[in-house]
Amino acid sequence: MSVRDPADADRETTMTKTLTRLLDATGRYAAILLAAMLLFILEPLLATERQVPWGLSVVTFFVLMGSLRAVWAKHALFYVVGFLGVGLIALETTEALLGSRWAVAADVFGIAFLATTGTGILLDIFTRDEITADTVFGASAVYLLIGLLFGRVFLLIAHVDPNAFAVSDALAEELAVEGFRGSGILHYFSLITLTTVGYGDVSPVAPLARNLAAIEAVIAQLFVAAVIARLVALYTTRQTEKE
């Protein structure tokens, strides 16, 4: 059995600490925030573009890279996020090429991936001792990740029960052509529910869909309240220490 050279271990530790300091200096969360915004914007377009079946996977790849950057310091979480993200990309590509029978697996991996990433970022935010722009970026990223997560949950529900959601006449034609997975309607519905806007053009009909939509709206309000309270507490503490 070969014995690892202690010098190699020290060099690896030094490189890890150096990279961690670099990420802290440049900000961990701007990338995942931008990637999540990009996914919200492009997901409906790429989901319908069958000529480029790997398009959505490319955007998901950028989300994965942003997620790995966000959880770099937590090594166990880093590997879990990496595994779930790579699995999600593989399943999304397979679904686009081979059909919707892979949809459930892709949704399950997507839910786990987004939940794990959001939890890691949130834990870091609530254990920080000072407010920075990166803290605000992280909180904003988690907010969007909640919307993406519930969008995946709603897609999973619609896959099991196609009548779980009702849409207005204006969206009925698009839904008839593209379906829920190809139209991006449920990710739109998730974001509207998250912000409690409620245009009424998409409505949950099934009891499970209604309950989850209500839970998402409540989580959004609690999240905003908790984050604002935490940021105010950090700012107040910082000002007191300066005085």
Q: For 15-45, write each residue's pLDDT tens digit.
A: 555 545 544 545 678 888 888 888 888 776 6
| Mean pLDDT (the chain, rounded) | 80
- Residue positions counted in the chain: 243
One-character DSSP codes across 83-139 = HHHHHHHHHHHHHHHH-GGGHHHHHHHHHHHHHHHHHHHHHHHTT-SS--HHHHHHH
Higher-pLDDT residue of 73, 161: 161
Structure-derived torsion over alpha carbons of residues 27, 64, 222, 108, reported in degrees to the nearest 10: -170
Please give the helix or strand (H or E) that residue 166 lies within, else none.
strand 165-167
| Contact residues for 188 (Cβ-Cβ < 8 A; gap 6+) | 44, 202
If pLDDT is split at 50, 70 and 90, which confidence band does 12 have?
Answer: very low
* Plot region of 132 (φ>0 → left; ψ -120 to 50 → alpha; else → beta): beta
| Residue 198 three-state SS | coil
Q: What is the DSSP letter of 49?
A: -
Q: For 160-216, write each residue's pLDDT tens digit.
A: 898 999 988 888 877 777 777 767 888 889 999 998 887 888 899 999 999 999 999
d(CA 96, CA 55): 9
The per-residue pLDDT for 210 is 94
| Residue 203 three-state SS | strand
CA atoms within 13 A on the CB side of 163: 0
The per-residue pLDDT for 239 is 64
Report pTM. 0.80
- Looking at the predicted structure, is the pLDDT value of residue 97 above 90? no
Going from N- to C-terminal start, the domains of the chain cover 27-242
- Looking at the predicted structure, is the pLDDT value of residue 1 above 50? no
d(CA 39, CA 148): 9
The per-residue pLDDT for 133 is 81
Amino acid present at 44 = P
The per-residue pLDDT for 93 is 82
| Residue 200 three-state SS | coil
Q: For 111-158, write each residue's pLDDT tens digit.
A: 999 999 999 888 888 887 777 888 888 889 999 999 999 999 999 999
d(CA 170, CA 150): 23
The per-residue pLDDT for 214 is 94
The per-residue pLDDT for 136 is 85
d(CA 68, CA 59): 14
